[in-house]
Amino acid sequence: MAAKLFGGDVSEAKRFYEEVRSNDLDTQWVTYRYEGNTLELGGNGENLDDLFSKTEENFNDNDRVYAYVRFETGDEMSRRAKFAFITWIGPAVSVLKKGKVSTDKAFVKQVFVEFGKEFLCDTRSELSQSKMLKDLEKASGAAYGTGR
């Protein structure tokens, strides 16, 4: 079932997942969106602003999107990568398609297996880069230094 979601080949999704997780590569995010009943690559990039500043492009009102995102957190004493799994269900998505998202998400999580926080968003205001970063920082534990 999971293979069907990624067009019969989960290897591309796993490759992008590993790129986002890699400390040696610049990829910061990847999205997958439904084309019919199949998940297709929506996009990927090296700049979080490209993902969050273009919400209408990346998270359309008619779309269902899964995103895996790398955030840098910490302060001058300790920088670390934290990962978020975002599920977007646009406000114009039908009830039947909304229901399918929760079922399919279990299969998507078999590819995007490690993340610090999961976000379920259905309004644009929830797609806030700064809010997500703050939530990840809270979940990361103790903070040292001045916060810069």
The CATH number of 2-139 is 3.40.20.10
At residue 14's C-alpha, the angle toward residues 99 and 30, to 5°, is 70
This prediction has a pTM of 0.89
Q: pLDDT of the chain along its 148 residues, tens only?
A: 454 678 778 999 999 999 999 999 999 999 999 998 889 999 999 999 999 999 889 999 999 999 999 999 877 777 789 999 999 999 999 999 999 998 899 999 999 999 999 999 999 999 999 999 999 888 766 555 555 5
